[in-house]
């Protein structure tokens, strides 16, 4: 809650009234003047100069000796806002949402989708979220999930689209949800939704960005046209298709599937992720970029660091113009606009063109000599110092960590 | 370049494409539209599918299109070095799926390559999935490379977001769609494009009901999401209105030893999970 400072007129009145039985208790803690043993009034000037916090929240010094301050400031008790609980005891119908759960948590795309589902469910319907495998999310209630169905099992771990589609069609046959909602994303939802559509024989609305009444509007073709159609049962919605739920709490009651899910022999076997050479990843979609600029003096060390960290290399315009890095590695307005999750900038002061290019990056780390440069203002973590020494230390630290990992594995 | 990594990007192996020429591959191609001018052209992802097919099967790659055999843009695919393109003739707005199912069911095709979604029309990206469902074949999304084929099982690399790859084993015959992670299509040459043959096949046309009930319109720019301030009191509203947009900078480590600085950076990298 807010930190509004409130006066307590009664306490002030008691502090003024020496005859009041509570007068002594209302006096400020450190006494400023008292009668000494020889009948002389003693004063503590330090306590007076320390002042007290007045009713407006400002420090006040009262040398008259009649300090009117009451004990500390009074602020309204902070109350956690409890959102109203939306209970659907007997749902008239279900709206089935299959969130992506990237990294085990609801992404913003998932939350938008749950917001859309909530809108479609209205008062009498229930939003059912179907999850596969483990998750780390603990805010299903505020995201708008009425019912939660967790489908676990070895068959659904890793990349198992065929098993998941079978599980979803079991949900379809048991609950017959009014709508199916999946995110039209590259992180799994787009594929799973289309597989499900083919399995159920439903014609989905894809790349939907608006649902108004009984009509869905989605992008068509290469994005130059919109297609408007009656709302189908299966909707693959784009990001920001609706506002996420924010004003209600929901039960997120766990649901169990009545019957066992049919298993079939998977025709696609997942052999796991492949180590990819970071130098070959297109810069625009690289996850982790180590970028060098004018402050880098030892380029050999820079390349070593990129290999040790497993980072894709980038460069500022100065480094490219000076011939230390190829032109296709330039980050910024005239180079590539990057979307890395972590951008490690070494010796880059942060020209505005460069900062534009890294606008979409999540975390920016700067290593620089100059504590006042623009890159430091943008960065989430900055280390001021010599880049060569810090890179060397970083290489050592990472090498030690990899050694540890190997020892643990062995 | 770096021997420690398994390079997974096609086109880097010397002698790539010498093997697997006995594979029967069909690439489904469509007429695309330029993203800016809207002019007909070979579709970007379909061309990538053709490129992948050419690397796998060379001249044995078969091109298949359902639509108008007169379309000039189809010659763009022939210009990539193929002699023939089969067209199942149908008017605009007809359903391509039954024709393709009929055609592929009778053939000895082992791998069907497609793009992820069409550049014109609905562009729902459903065709490869429906095709796989009707044929009863497995479906691979985002095929980046076929590593090997043994005993009717292909080992392939699948493209994931952020340039990552996943290795899959899939039983043939199968349908595979490619996206922008597949190899870039080679340039289309004018001479071969003129010389190539476009073979039209007469088939029964099946209509598509969608366009009767849906309407296509020029894309509207999407509304920008507004920052909604849910303040109950005036003070909160004032605070929200005057608060600086950016979070006021991060942590700055000054006068620390290089080791301490490196440790802080290392901790952040571990937290973000980018060190592998």
Residue predicted with more confidence, A208 or A73:
A208
Q: Averaging pLDDT over each range in A19-23, A361-365, B225-229, which range is the top one?
A: A361-365
User: Does a structural domain hold residue A266?
Assistant: no
Q: What is the mean pLDDT of chain A?
A: 86
Residues A300, A241 share a domain: no
Last residue within a domain, chosen from A20, A40, A75? A75
Q: Which pLDDT does position B15 carry in this prediction?
A: 39
Q: Which pLDDT does position B249 carry in this prediction?
A: 64
DSSP string, A57-120: S-EE--TTS-----SS-EEPPP----PEEE--SS-SSEEEE----GGGS--HHHHHHHHHHHHH
Domain CATH number, residue A216: 3.40.50.620
Measured in angstroms, the CA of B129 and the nearest CA of chain A are apart by 6
Q: Would an 8 Å CB–CB cutoff place A186 in contact with chain B?
A: yes
Q: Which pLDDT does position B111 carry in this prediction?
A: 94
Look at phi and psi of residue A65 and say left if phi exceeds 0, alpha if psi is from -120 to 50, else beta: left
Residues A312, A230 share a domain: no
Whether the CB-CB separation of A42 and A34 falls below 8 Å is answered with yes
Burial class (CB in 10 A: 0-12, 13-18, 19+), B197: exposed
Q: Would an 8 Å CB–CB cutoff place A311 in contact with chain B?
A: yes
Q: Beta-carbon neighbour count of residue B267 at 10 Å?
A: 12
Last residue within a domain, chosen from A75, A106, A127? A75
Of B165, B216, B230, the CB nearest to A220: B216
DSSP string, B230-259: --SSHHHHHHHHHS-SS----EEE-S--HH
B11 pLDDT higher than 60: no
User: Does a structural domain hold residue A176?
Assistant: yes
Between CA A48 and CA A30 the distance in angstroms is: 9
Q: Which pLDDT does position A276 carry in this prediction?
A: 85
B269 pLDDT higher than 80: yes
Instruction: Taking residues B128-140, report their average pLDDT.
Output: 94
Count of A-B CB contacts under 8 Å: 244
Measured in angstroms, the CA of B214 and the nearest CA of chain A are apart by 4
B21 pLDDT higher than 70: no
Instruction: Mark A114-135 as b/e (b = at least 16 C-beta within 10 Å).
Output: bbbbbbbbeeebbbbbbbbbeb
Q: Would an 8 Å CB–CB cutoff place B183 in contact with chain A?
A: no
Residues A236, A92 share a domain: yes
pLDDT, tens only, B229-251: 777 778 778 877 776 555 456 88
Q: Tell me whether residues B166 and A272 touch, CB distance under 8 A.
A: yes
Q: Tell me whether residues B258 and A222 touch, CB distance under 8 A.
A: no
* ipTM of predicted assembly, 2 dp: 0.84
A52 pLDDT higher than 80: no
A73 pLDDT higher than 50: no
Whether the CB-CB separation of A105 and A135 falls below 8 Å is answered with yes
A388 pLDDT higher than 60: yes
A contacts of B179 (beta carbons < 8 Å): 186
A331 pLDDT higher than 90: yes
Distance (Å) of CA A124 to CA A87, A92, A111, B154: 9, 6, 20, 49
Residues A326, A200 share a domain: no
Whether the CB-CB separation of B91 and B202 falls below 8 Å is answered with no
User: Does a structural domain hold residue A262?
Assistant: no
Maximum CA pair distance of chain B?
79
Q: Would an 8 Å CB–CB cutoff place A381 in contact with chain B?
A: yes
Q: Which pLDDT does position A178 carry in this prediction?
A: 94
Instruction: Taking residues A70-88, report their average pLDDT.
Output: 65
- φ/ψ of residue A94, rounded to 5: -110, 150
Q: Considering only alpha carbons, which residue of chain B is nearest residue A345? A: B265
Whether the CB-CB separation of A350 and A378 falls below 8 Å is answered with yes
Q: Which pLDDT does position A68 carry in this prediction?
A: 52
Ranges A43-47, A54-58, A268-272, A381-385: which has the least confidence: A54-58
Q: Beta-carbon neighbour count of residue A179 at 10 Å?
A: 21
Residue A239 token pair: 């990001």
Percent of chain B with pLDDT over 90: 54
Quickly tell me which residue has 């989708």 as its tokens: A113
User: Does a structural domain hold residue A250?
Assistant: yes
Measured in angstroms, the CA of B23 and the nearest CA of chain A are apart by 19
User: Does a structural domain hold residue A270?
Assistant: no
Residues A365, A216 share a domain: no
Q: Which pLDDT does position B20 carry in this prediction?
A: 57
pLDDT, tens only, B153-183: 999 999 988 888 999 999 989 999 998 888 8
Residues A69, A110 share a domain: no
Q: Would an 8 Å CB–CB cutoff place B118 in contact with chain A?
A: yes
Confidence of residue B1 (pLDDT cuts 50, 70, 90): very low
Residues A66, A89 share a domain: no
Residue A68 token pair: 């009117």
Percent of chain A with pLDDT over 90: 50
Residue predicted with more confidence, A218 or A409:
A218
Measured in angstroms, the CA of B98 and the nearest CA of chain A are apart by 14
Residues A306, A189 share a domain: no
Residue A134: helix, strand or coil by DSSP? Answer: coil
B192 pLDDT higher than 60: yes
Maximum CA pair distance of chain A?
101
Residues A110, A14 share a domain: no
HSE, side-chain direction, 13 A CA sphere, residue A162: 16
A contacts of B132 (beta carbons < 8 Å): 198
Q: Considering only alpha carbons, which residue of chain A is nearest residue B30? A: A221
User: Does a structural domain hold residue A261?
Assistant: no
Whether the CB-CB separation of A23 and A17 falls below 8 Å is answered with yes
Q: Considering only alpha carbons, which residue of chain B is nearest residue A210? A: B222
Q: Would an 8 Å CB–CB cutoff place A229 in contact with chain B?
A: yes
Between CA B112 and CA B173 the distance in angstroms is: 8
B258 pLDDT higher than 60: yes
Q: Which pLDDT does position A369 carry in this prediction?
A: 92
Residue positions counted in chain A: 410
User: Does a structural domain hold residue A269?
Assistant: no
Q: Which pLDDT does position A386 carry in this prediction?
A: 92
Between CA A299 and CA B161 the distance in angstroms is: 30
Between CA B32 and CA B38 the distance in angstroms is: 9
A contacts of B256 (beta carbons < 8 Å): 383-385
Confidence of residue A227 (pLDDT cuts 50, 70, 90): very high
Quickly tell me which residue has 């497609």 as its tokens: B114
Q: Are strands A147-151 and A126-132 parallel, antiparallel or unpaired?
A: parallel
Confidence of residue B6 (pLDDT cuts 50, 70, 90): very low
Instruction: Taking residues B10-14, report their average pLDDT.
Output: 40
Whether the CB-CB separation of A103 and A35 falls below 8 Å is answered with no
Between CA B183 and CA B179 the distance in angstroms is: 9
Last residue within a domain, chosen from A222, A255, A288? A255
Q: Which pLDDT does position B14 carry in this prediction?
A: 38
Q: Tell me whether residues A380 and B133 touch, CB distance under 8 A.
A: no
Confidence of residue A103 (pLDDT cuts 50, 70, 90): confident
Ranges A173-182, A245-254, A263-272, A287-296: which has the least confidence: A263-272
Residues A230, A357 share a domain: no
Whether the CB-CB separation of A36 and A30 falls below 8 Å is answered with no
User: Does a structural domain hold residue A57?
Assistant: yes
User: Which domains does chain B possess?
Assistant: 25-213 (3.40.50.620), 234-272 (no CATH)
pLDDT, tens only, B42-80: 999 999 999 999 999 988 999 999 999 999 999 999 999
Confidence of residue A65 (pLDDT cuts 50, 70, 90): low
Q: Which pLDDT does position B4 carry in this prediction?
A: 42
Split into its structural domains, chain A has a count of 3
Residues A117, A249 share a domain: yes
Q: Which pLDDT does position A58 carry in this prediction?
A: 80
Q: Tell me whether residues B129 and A392 touch, CB distance under 8 A.
A: no
Residues A213, A312 share a domain: no
A93 pLDDT higher than 70: yes
Measured in angstroms, the CA of A244 and the nearest CA of chain B are apart by 11
Domain that holds residue A148: 85-255
């Amino acid at each position: 809650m807010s930190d509004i400072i409130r006066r307590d007129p009664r306490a002030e009145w008691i502090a003024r009234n020496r005859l009041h039985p509570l007068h002594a208790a209302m006096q400020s803690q450190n006494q400023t003047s008292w009668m000494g043993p020889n009948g002389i009034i003693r004063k503590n000037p330090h306590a007076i100069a320390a002042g007290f916090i007045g009713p407006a929240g400002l420090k006040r010094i009262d040398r008259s000796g009649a300090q009117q301050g009451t004990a500390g400031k009074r602020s309204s008790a902070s109350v956690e806002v409890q959102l109203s609980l939306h209970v659907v005891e007997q749902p008239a119908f279900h709206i089935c949402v299959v969130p992506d759960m990237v990294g085990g948590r609801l992404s913003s795309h998932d939350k938008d989708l749950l917001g859309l589902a909530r809108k479609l469910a209205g008062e009498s319907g229930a939003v059912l979220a179907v999850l596969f495998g483990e998750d780390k999310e603990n805010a299903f209630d505020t995201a708008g999930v009425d019912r939660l169905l967790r489908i676990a099992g070895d068959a659904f771990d890793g990349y198992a689209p065929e098993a998941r589609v079978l599980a979803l069609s079991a949900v379809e046959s048991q609950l017959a949800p009014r709508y199916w909602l999946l995110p039209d994303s590259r992180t799994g939802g787009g594929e799973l939704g289309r597989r499900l559509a083919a399995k159920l024989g439903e014609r989905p609305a894809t790349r939907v960005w608006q649902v108004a009444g009984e009509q869905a509007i989605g992008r068509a073709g290469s994005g130059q046209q919109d297609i408007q159609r009656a709302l189908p049962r299966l909707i693959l919605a784009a990001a920001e298709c609706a506002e996420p739920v924010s004003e209600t709490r929901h039960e997120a009651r766990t649901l169990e599937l009545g019957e066992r899910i049919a298993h079939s022999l998977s025709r696609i076997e997942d052999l796991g992720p492949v180590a990819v050479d970071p130098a070959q990843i297109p810069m625009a979609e690289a996850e982790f970029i180590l970028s060098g600029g004018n402050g880098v003096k030892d380029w050999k060390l820079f390349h070593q660091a990129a290999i040790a960290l497993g980072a894709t290399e980038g460069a500022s315009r100065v480094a490219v113009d000076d011939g230390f890095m190829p032109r296709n590695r330039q980050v910024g307005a005239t180079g590539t606009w990057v979307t890395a999750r972590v951008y490690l900038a070494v010796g880059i002061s942060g020209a505005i063109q460069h900062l534009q290019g890294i606008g979409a990056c999540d975390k920016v780390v700067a290593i620089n000599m100059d504590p006042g440069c623009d890159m430091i203002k943008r960065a989430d973590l900055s280390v001021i110092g010599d880049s060569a020494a810090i890179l060397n230390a970083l290489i050592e630290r990472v090498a030690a960590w990899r050694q540890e990992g190997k020892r643990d594995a062995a | 370049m770096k021997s420690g990594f398994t390079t997974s990007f096609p086109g880097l192996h010397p002698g790539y494409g010498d093997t697997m020429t006995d594979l029967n591959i069909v690439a489904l191609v469509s007429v695309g539209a330029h993203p800016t001018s809207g002019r007909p052209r070979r579709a970007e992802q379909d061309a990538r599918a053709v490129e992948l097919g050419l690397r796998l099967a060379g001249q044995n790659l078969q091109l298949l299109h359902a639509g108008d055999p007169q379309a000039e843009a189809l010659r763009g695919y022939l210009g990539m070095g193929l002699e023939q393109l089969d067209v199942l003739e149908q008017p605009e707005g007809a359903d391509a799926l039954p024709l393709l199912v009929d055609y592929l069911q009778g053939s000895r095709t082992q791998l069907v390559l497609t793009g992820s979604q069409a550049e014109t029309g609905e562009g729902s990206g459903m065709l490869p999935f429906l095709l796989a469902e009707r044929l009863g074949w497995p479906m691979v999304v985002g095929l980046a490379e076929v590593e090997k084929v043994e005993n009717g099982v292909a080992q392939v690399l699948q493209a994931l977001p952020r340039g990552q790859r996943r290795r899959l084993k899939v039983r043939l015959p199968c349908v595979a769609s490619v996206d922008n992670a597949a190899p870039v299509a080679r340039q289309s040459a004018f001479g071969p494009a003129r010389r190539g043959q476009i073979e039209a096949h007469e088939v029964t046309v099946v209509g598509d009901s969608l366009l009767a009930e849906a309407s296509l319109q020029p894309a509207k720019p999407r509304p920008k999401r507004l920052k909604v301030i849910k303040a109950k009191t005036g003070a909160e509203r004032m605070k929200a209105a005057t608060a600086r947009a950016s979070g006021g900078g991060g942590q700055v480590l000054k006068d620390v030893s290089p080791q301490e600085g490196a440790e802080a950076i290392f901790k952040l990298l571990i937290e973000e999970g980018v060190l592998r």
